[in-house]
Chains A and B, each alone.
Chain A
Amino acid sequence: MTDCVAIVIVSHSPEVARGTADMVRQMVGEDVRVAYCGGNPAGGLGTDVAAIQDAIRAVDGPKGVAVLVDLGGAETNSEMAIEMMADKLRGEVVLCNAPLVEGAVMAATEASGGASLDAVRATAEEFLS
Chain B
Amino acid sequence: MVVEMRRKAIVLIVLVLIFLVLPFLVSGFWVRLVTGIFMFAILASALNIIAGFTGYAAFGNMIFFGVGAYTTAVLMNKLKFPFFTSLILSGGVAVLLAIVLGLLLLRLKGHYFALATLGAAEAMHQIVNNLTDLTGGGQGMSLPQMRGSPFVLNLFFYFLMFFFLVLITFLVWRLSKNRLGYAFKAIRANEEAASVMGINTTYYKIYAWSLSGLFTGFTGAIYAYWFTYIDPPTVFDVMMVVKMFVIILIGGAGTVFGPIIGAFILESISELVWAKFINLHLGILGTIIMLVVIFMPNGIIDLVTKKRSFKGIIKYLRENKL
Q: Do A and B come from one complex?
A: no
Interface residues in chain B, defined as those with a beta carbon under 8 Å from any beta carbon in chain A: none
